[in-house]
Structure formats: C-alpha cells, structure tokens
Chains A and B, each alone.
Chain A
C-alpha cells in the first residue's frame, strides 16, 4: 500500500514566499571539517542566509586554566588546533615567558622556530589536502599526506607523540634534537619544493580548479580587516600583517623570509598565499638548521620541571609525587608579577593570542585565547551568502578552520 507522495515528502519546506527552504549542514558532514553546523536558507542552490553554529567541542579551557598552574595549562593548548599543536604550544609558552619575564636560550629559540614551521607545513598540507578534496580533486589529498607523514614521524622522534606534542616548555623545550632528526629534516626540506611543484601541477592551472576558486569568496582588504581575519586569509586580501614580522618572537627576527601577499582576495589568492608560505617555511627551517647554535635548551629560571637528565634541577625531595612537587615548586616561586598581558603568535591558521591576567599567585587569574578559527567561522556568512552550496564548501575550506580551536 502506498501513501501519497506529497504528504510523506516534506521537502522543500515552503515558508512565506514558497521558494526557500532550510538545510542544516553538519555537525556531521564531511565538508565542515569537524563539528561545525551551518544552517542554510536556500533558494534552489543559492544561499540566501547562512548562519554557522559552533560550540560542539567547547571544553571550557578558559575556566580550566584558571584552576591550573601555568605549566599545567600547556597541555590544553595541544587540544586547540590539533593539526598544528606545536605552534599552539609555542604560542602559549611565548606568552607565559613574556608574562613572567623569562628569557629563553638561543638554541631553544631556534628549535622552537623549527618545530613551529614544521607544524605550519603540516597544517598547510592538511589544509591543501582537504580543500582540494572538498572541491573534488582527490589525488592531491593523498600526495599531501605522503609528506605530512614524514613530518609526523619527525615529531614522533622528537617528543614521542604524533598529535599532542607538549614539546615546548615555558622557558625552552623539553629535549634536544637528535642528529637523525636534523638529517631527515634537512633532506625533507631539500626535497620539499619538488613536492610542492607536484601539487601545483595537479591543480594550479587546472581549468576547473580556476573556475571554482578565481573570483569566488572575494574579500577586499578593508572587509577582511573589519571581519577580523588574520593569517593567510588576511594576506590573501592584500594586508601585510604577519606577526612573525610585526612582533617577532623566538628566532624569527634572526632568519630571512618573505611574507607572501596577494591583492585579489579570492579563494585562489588565499590558496596561492598558503602555497608560497610552504616555500618560505622550508626556507626558514633550512636557515635555522644552518644557524643552530650550541647551548642549553631550557632557561635556568623556568618554572617547569625538566627531566633530571637534561636539566640540573631535581624534583624537590619529600614531595610524594611528581604532580604535587610541581605545584609546590610553582606556587612557592615568589616573583609572579601582577599585571596583564596580551601576546599573540602566528600559527598556521592566523593570529593565536593569549591574554593573561596574573594576580601574583601561581595560577592565571584569567586566561583568554583569541583563536583564529573562531573569528574565521564568524566571517563565513560574509563569504558565502549569495553564492551556491558548492561555493560554501570551498569557502569553509579556504578559511582553514579547526573546530577544536574554535570551540576551545
């Protein structure tokens, strides 16, 4: 027995003018890169209204950090942008060092610059892979993973983890680099431009790729600034803003690199910017390897525990466990200043800022993270409204969002 089709099928849901209907995209959708939900109001395939909803991954890092010591909160930053956790770790450490007035040994600075750029390459590769896959170019996806794998293996050798590293420490890094690490990395950096060329042969001048990206999702410089975009999204619109140049941290003022900028402001411009950044990251790593000075890898006055093998300080005698010893060590330190500070670093996604208020205790009075993905998602309606569903997918891809960072 059949039921009348018109009654069972309720799409499209007609509202007032009978033409529009809503489509809920996500939180489980392959193109939303995590648990982003986008509510679309559609007329045919044209997006009339687009409203992103986030928060599915909210873990309350701001609140948790208020109840932890500075060193303990480091692991929270691993879980922000899990594609490039190393860059977040470094960003956090740089901020806390500035707050506590700790100076970092030069070798540690160089090592941190290396791992930062490695994670930038890893992140951009994943971005390129998924962005291309969203637009339908499947092969680029697997090519990118081939190179990303090398980087993850290197990270594993460096600190034993492939996703959540917690390798940089407040005042330095946890372990020194090995010789093999340097050798493999050097080989990787030497070969990398060739691999970039491989990706570019597949899509760079591909007619379909151009049709899907040129002139789509256009933002002028002033619009991009007003929307608060940072990173490659802002530079793709022609604004010369790279924190590595504007407010250099670690060893960025000691190496030579360029900041790629494009004036077009469309998806293709942002794609080109990121591809150029890959080249520049390789250059930075090469210079850092060449210049890597000998010396200590962690500051003497770091409020952190290093493995006794590497540092001189030992866990205080009498402390029953590692954890309590750590907390005591931190809370007894007298020179925690009173004040507030905002420090941002250039992570692959954009500007990751940490705002700390210290009240003189060993724990932050308030920690706020300015995550680029959060702001980038809020710019999605500006990019997508008026375009088609397929362009929405390309726009989500071009903003390069990670929901772990967005929701915190």
Chain B
C-alpha cells in the first residue's frame, strides 16, 4: 500500500513538473518576445496558450533520425540519461513542509550527484553523434561542468555550516530562524557565486557555450531531432527548475514567506522559483556569450577563490559568535 502511495505521488509530481516544463518554454518565449519588441507565440489558442502542447505533439511525431555513423546505443541513451538524472533529483526537493518524496539526510549531495550525472548525457550525446560540432559541444560541456560544479559546491558549504545539515527540509526550517528568514543576507557572497555557477550548470546565456548556436550549431544536440531533441530540451528546463529550487531552498528560505497560504502551502516556493526563472530569461535576453577560455577564467580565478573565502569567513564568524 505504501509503495502504491509513493507511486501515485511520483506520478503526480511527474505530471505536474512536465506540465510546468511545457509552460516554462511558453513563459520564456513570451517574456523574451516582449523584451524583444515582438509578441512570442500567438497562433495556437488564446495568445498562443496551447503552443507548448502543439510543440510536444509535433516533436513526438517527428522522424527520429539516427546518423549512419553514430554509436546507436549511446546516441539513443544520452537524452534519457539527461532526463532521468534531472527527474530523479526532483525526488528530494521539499516544495512545502512535508511535501517531499524522499526526505533523505544527504539531499544536497544527492542533488549535486544528479546534476553531474546529467552532464554525462550531454557528453555522451556529443561523443556518440560522431560529428565534430557535437564533439566540441560535449567537450565544452565537460570542462564547464567540472569547473563550475566545484564553485557551486563550495558556495553551498557556507549554507551547510550555518544550518549544520544536508537535509533540505531541515535547511529550510533552520533558515526560518535566521535574520530575515533567508540565508541570502549572511551568505551574500555565496549567493553571488551560486547564481553564476547556476547559470553555467544549466548551460544558459551567457554560459551557453556547449550549445552556442552560432558557433557550434547547437553543439551536442546538432544531430538530434524529434522527440530526442525535445527530451534534451525538457532536461534543460527541469535542470533550470532544480537549480532555481536549490537557490530558493538554500538562500531564499524555501516555502517560508511573509504570510502563510494555507490552501496551497508551496505558494512561496513556486513564486520564488518563478522569480529565478524570470531572471534566467531576462539574462538570456540581455547578455552576449562568453568565450570558452573566459568562462574558465571566471570559474577558476574568480568564483572558486570567492567561495573559498566565503567558507573561511563564515567559519570565523561562526567560531566567534558561537
């Protein structure tokens, strides 16, 4: 019986998230459209509201092309690795008090593990397509994930030190008692590092080098079409949501808000995640793209020292204030 309940919970979460992903694309296209003096999708449904569904149906029925020279098994598996890793990490996210599938004690580490795993999908996709563009995209992705994972992990160490736990639910609960109910105030440096690393981890502008469409023609996804391409897309959007959720949980006080919304407990959580998403999109509409070596420079020479410094600072303050 217990298993059945969990299965139903998983199914509900899956459905809700998929719907969110679909409408996150709509959200992005509309916002970016209005920022760029155009309308975004307008044709299907009222103001293009049914566009994501139409896109889904279209990509589902498109021909699934596998290049002749590709490594077929890896080629097919790569998008699934991406999507699975991203979906799995949803399991540990607490959307509200008690609204979590698996309340494990190493939630934060688990999230890191999954987000690293999803980059395997990208690398394998680049490798298996047997095209030089995808290969370069895969290489870039590998280098990017390795260097920014470190910065991101280090930036969250401060949060761990303050809260004294890796359990995400507990982090939120402990956080509620701190100044302003958010760790963003004592951990402003860490938040800065985290935010930049988050953009890089999700391959968003200005760090979208693995898929830079004008250089590498969509990088690792060049050879993909139809549903498999859509799966990469979904993985990317879920990745954005997961990263926004980590940010919300670790720095913005999770589901805590100025007042409680009893009919829908995750209200504040969703609001904060969408605020993050909006910033993602806003940045995409504004900034150009970094060059590969500049990206590395920022990662290793700016973010990691900053994150390390933040750890030392937090340690000192914690030691002196008890």
Contact = CB atoms under 8 A, between A and B. Distances in A.
A–B contact, 8 Å CB criterion (strictly below): yes
Interface of A: 2-3, 5, 8-12, 21, 23, 29-31, 45, 132-139, 141-143, 146, 202-203, 206, 208-209, 211-212, 388-391, 393
Given A136-B206, A138-B285, A393-B214, A11 B132 contact: yes
A393 B215 contact: yes
28 contacts: A10-B69, A11-B131, A11-B135, A23-B132, A30-B214, A31-B214, A133-B214, A134-B214, A136-B288, A137-B287, A138-B32, A138-B285, A139-B36, A142-B36, A142-B37, A142-B38, A143-B37, A146-B37, A203-B288, A208-B206, A208-B287, A208-B288, A211-B291, A211-B294, A212-B288, A388-B293, A390-B212, A393-B214
Contact of B288 (A29, A30, A132): A132
B290 A208 contact: yes
Contact of B135 (A12, A206, A388, A391): A12
Given A10-B130, A11-B130, A388-B292, A136 B71 contact: no
Interface residues of B, number: 40
Interface of B: 32, 35-38, 69-74, 127-128, 130-133, 135-136, 205-206, 208-209, 212-217, 284-294
Contacts of B213: 30
B317 to A, nearest CB: 31
A32 to B, nearest CB: 10
**Ranked 3 nearest A-B pairs via Cβ:** A136-B289, A142-B36, A137-B288
A12 B214 CA distance: 21
A227 B71 CA distance: 45
A144 to B, nearest CB: 11
A139 B208 CA distance: 16
A31 B71 CA distance: 28
Given A30-B217, A211-B290, A139 B35 contact: yes
B293 to A, nearest CB: 7
Contacts of A135: 214, 288-289
Contact of A31 (B36, B215, B294): B215
Contacts of A134: 214
Nearest to B289: A136
B291 A212 contact: yes
A29 B292 contact: no
Candidate in A9, A141, A209 with the most chain B CB atoms within 10 angstroms: A9
A129 to B, nearest CB: 11
B71 A2 contact: yes
A9 B127 contact: yes
Contacts of B130: 8-11
A333 B67 CA distance: 62
A138 B284 contact: yes
B147 to A, nearest CB: 15
A202 B291 CA distance: 18
Given A135-B289, A138-B285, A391-B291, A5 B214 contact: no
Contact of A5 (B38, B74, B135, B209): B74
A2 B128 CA distance: 12
B113 to A, nearest CB: 24
Given A3-B71, A388-B292, A202 B286 contact: yes
Most chain B beta-carbon neighbours within 10 Å: one of A3, A8, A209: A8
Given A8-B71, A134-B214, A203-B288, 4 more contacts: A5-B74, A11-B135, A146-B37, A390-B292
A5 B132 CA distance: 15
B205 to A, nearest CB: 6
A132 B213 CA distance: 13
A3 B73 CA distance: 9
Given A31-B215, A390-B215, A143 B288 contact: no
